[in-house]
Amino acid sequence: MAGSAASGLLGRQLKQMQSDKDIPGISCGLVKDNIFEWEVMLMISDDCKFYGGGFYRAHLIFPPEYPHLPPKMTFQTPIFHPNIYSTGDVCFFFFYGDTIDLYGYESASERWSPVQTPETILLSVISMLSSPNDESPANVEAARMWRDDPKEFRKRCRANVRASLGEDWEG
């Protein structure tokens, strides 16, 4: 029962995102006609200091209990970022549902809530690219570099941008 309600909601949300011309830089579709698995393309605007101009492919996987439980997001395109594991899994607080933040790194507004939509998720992830949380990193190397060696961090990110465009670049 929950799965059918979630699939109806996801179908409406996907259709809305595909027809909404006011969401620049985000394209969504289904993976193998599965409404619970979306392929997303994030085309990052040049305003984003580190990732601007990049095209990043990701998957959003929704549970049958959506919207009461959050989806999982995994980048398919390699991306070097403090809040993204080397596997591509996004470490962002609202993806964790009702878990308790033991260390006080998040506000209640950052936790998952059923009012979140795929659009708000993706816009938040794009915002996260510009403003990482280096206090609770998924990628310790990226967080250290973000704090201690911004020039090298930018160099690594720009290499990711070029790779996302299909260009070979060693820096």
Supply the residues annotated as catalytic. 91
> Does 32 map to a domain?
yes
| Domain that residue 105 falls in | 2-164
> Does 17 map to a domain?
yes
> Does 141 map to a domain?
yes
pLDDT of 147 over the 50 cut? yes
> Does 69 map to a domain?
yes
CATH number of residue 70's parent domain: 3.10.110.10
Count of structural domains within the chain: 1
Q: pLDDT digit string (tens) for 137-146? A: 999 999 999 9
> Does 170 map to a domain?
no
Q: pLDDT digit string (tens) for 13-61? A: 999 999 987 778 999 999 999 999 999 999 999 888 899 999 999 999 9
> Does 129 map to a domain?
yes
> Does 171 map to a domain?
no
> Does 96 map to a domain?
yes
The type of residue at 156 is R
